[in-house]
Structure 1
Amino acid sequence: MLIAVASKDGREINQHFGHAERFLIFEVDAGGARLVDEKKVERYCTYDAFHPERAHVLQAIADALAGCRAVVCAQIGQGPQMEMERFGVDAFVADGPIKATLVEIAKAL
């Protein structure tokens, strides 16, 4: 299964969903996790008080993550989490090494 990860360094899950400008896409199975793609996206959080809802950006992120079963990040707000799940992408909050964490999450899916 494919799982997207928000990571600053490509080794650890250490980025907030709304701050990500890219998501690393991993193929995860019982044998482990391997990087297969990278999807660049527009950053969701802009700190713009006049445009707090950026539904079009969430839709674009969901489109970029099409085919992914889940997204894993260090933090995600309740609104974006609910929207991602509405788009069919489960959202998980975690930290630590990407590959080991993804194998554990995949067991729960």
Structure 2
Amino acid sequence: MLIAVASRDGKEINQHFGHADRFLIFEVDGGEARLVDEKKVERYCTYDASHPQRAHLLQAIADALTGCRAVVCAQIGQGPQTEMERFGVDAFVADGPIKATLVEIAKVL
């Protein structure tokens, strides 16, 4: 299964969903996680007075994460979390090493 991760350094889950300008895509299978792709996105946390809800950005992020079962980040607001789940991408808040954490999350998916 594919899981997207918000990470500043590619090793730890250490970035807020809304601050990510890229998501690392890992394939998790058989107790292992390996990096398979990187999706660049426009950051969700930007101020746009004409689009205060920024729904268009969440849709674009969901489109970029097509095929991913979940997204894992250090923090995510309730609104974006609900919207991502509406788009079919489960959102998890976690920290720590990416690969070991994803293997554990995959056990509950």
Q: TM bucket by the smaller chain?
A: over 0.9
- Which stretch has the larger CA shift, 83-92 or 28-37? 28-37
Q: RMSD between aligned alpha carbons?
A: 1.0
Aligned residues: 109
Structure 2 unaligned spans of 5+: none
Question: In the alignment, residue 18 of structure 1 is paired with which amino acid?
Answer: G
Q: What's 1:102 paired with? A: 102
Kindly report structure 1 stretches of 4+ aligned residues shifted beyond 6 Å. Answer: none
Q: Does 1:2 align with 2:16?
A: no
Structure 1 unaligned spans of 5+: none
Q: CA deviation at 1:29?
A: 1.2
In structure 1, C-alpha distance between the alignment counterparts of 2:106 and 2:31, rounded to whole Å: 11
Q: CA deviation at 1:52?
A: 2.4
Matched residue of 1:18: which SS?
Answer: helix
Q: What's 2:33 paired with? A: 33
Q: CA deviation at 1:50?
A: 5.6
Sequence identity, in percent? 90
- Which stretch has the larger CA shift, 25-34 or 66-75? 25-34
- Which stretch has the larger CA shift, 7-16 or 46-55? 46-55
TM-score (norm 2): 0.96
Question: In the alignment, residue 105 of structure 1 is paired with which amino acid?
Answer: I
